[in-house]
Amino acid sequence: MDLSRLFGQKQTSAPTEKRPDGRDRLPPGQYHTKKWPILSYEKTPRFDPTSYQFKVWGAVENPIQLTWDELLALPRTTLTTDFHCVTTWSRYDNEWEGVHIREILGRVKPTSEAHFVTAHSFTGYTTNMPLTALDDDDVMIVFRHDGQDLEPDHGGPVRLLVPKLYAYKSAKWLNGLEFMENDRPGFWEIRGYSNSADPWNEERYW
């Protein structure tokens, strides 16, 4: 039994902010930072708009391959979300601008066999998730952050955003989405990071 609750010792600071679903805004074991740390395994790559292709393939009815200009021409939306890294920092109220994932899903039409997705970076980085995690209101392909073009170190000019999972699911330098029948662990998921990555359940490592 946690006696500190009975004696009110946890009430000395401001009440914890809650999310609409009742969970704490700050996931367990995280700290809040105003700076935006950079976490990359790779060296920040050079981007070449003339050779860039955004590909969607696998278990979809209509695979697509878009040039950089075609990707930029898709309808845009903005969204403000918190962002949580498995190394325990969380950054609140990031304003993102980009293409909502349903703009892509509506065009490619995942088949009834599609249950998982691998996001690919043009650096070779990959990360996997269930289709149900990708196909959600807050998932976007983003180009801008807090009113500025995404910096190269943060995945500029284009990254995935899956803010309800630890940030290693938000692949930087995104250039493809592969729809799959069966799950396949990505870069960090092979190396010990949790496959499911839910910050509120502290699904960090396996």
- Which residues of this protein are in contact with ligand MTE, per CB under 6 A? 36-42, 85, 121, 123, 125, 154-155, 167-168, 170-173
Residue 123's binding partner out of Mo ion, ligand MTE, none, with CB under 5 to 8 Å set by partner kind:
ligand MTE
Q: How far is the CB of 168 from ligand MTE (least distance, A)?
A: 4
State the binding partner of 94 from ligand MTE, Mo ion, none, CB within 5 to 8 A by kind. Answer: none
Q: In the complex with ligand MTE, which residue's Cβ is closer, 30 or 170?
A: 170
Please report the sign of the dihedral spanned by the C-alpha atoms of residue 130, residue 196, residue 122, residue 50: positive
Nearer to ligand MTE, 90 or 108 (CB): 90
Find which of ligand MTE, Mo ion, none residue 27 binds, CB within 5 to 8 Å per kind: none
Nearest distance in Å: CB 48, Mo ion = 26
Residues 125-184 that bind Mo ion (CB under 5 A): 167-168
Q: Which two tokens stand for residue 16?
A: 């914890």
Nearer to ligand MTE, 58 or 156 (CB): 156
| Identity of the amino acid at 206 | W
Yes or no: say if 110 and 141 are a contact pair by the CB < 8 Å rule.
no
Separation between Cα atoms, residue 67 and residue 64, nearest integer Å: 10
Minimum gap (Å) between residue 187 Cβ and ligand MTE = 7
139 and 127 Cβ atoms separated by less than 8 Å: no
Of 60, 86, 114, 142, which one interacts with Mo ion (CB under 5 A)?
A: 86
Q: Using DSSP bridges, classify how beta strands 53-58 and 174-180 pair: parallel, antiparallel or unpaired.
A: parallel
The interface with Mo ion within residues 34-73 (CB under 5 A) comprises 39
Segment contacting Mo ion (CB under 5 A): 84-92, 96-104, 116-124, 141-149?
A: 84-92
CA distance 187 to 169: 10
Q: How many Å apart are CA 109 and CA 97, to the nearest integer?
A: 23
What CA–CA distances, in Å, run from 74 to 3, 4, 23, 141, 164?
Answer: 55, 53, 34, 11, 24
Q: Identify any residues that bridge with 100 across adjacent strands, giving them in sequence order.
A: 140
| Residues at the contact surface with Mo ion, assessed by CB under 5 A | 39, 85-86, 167-168
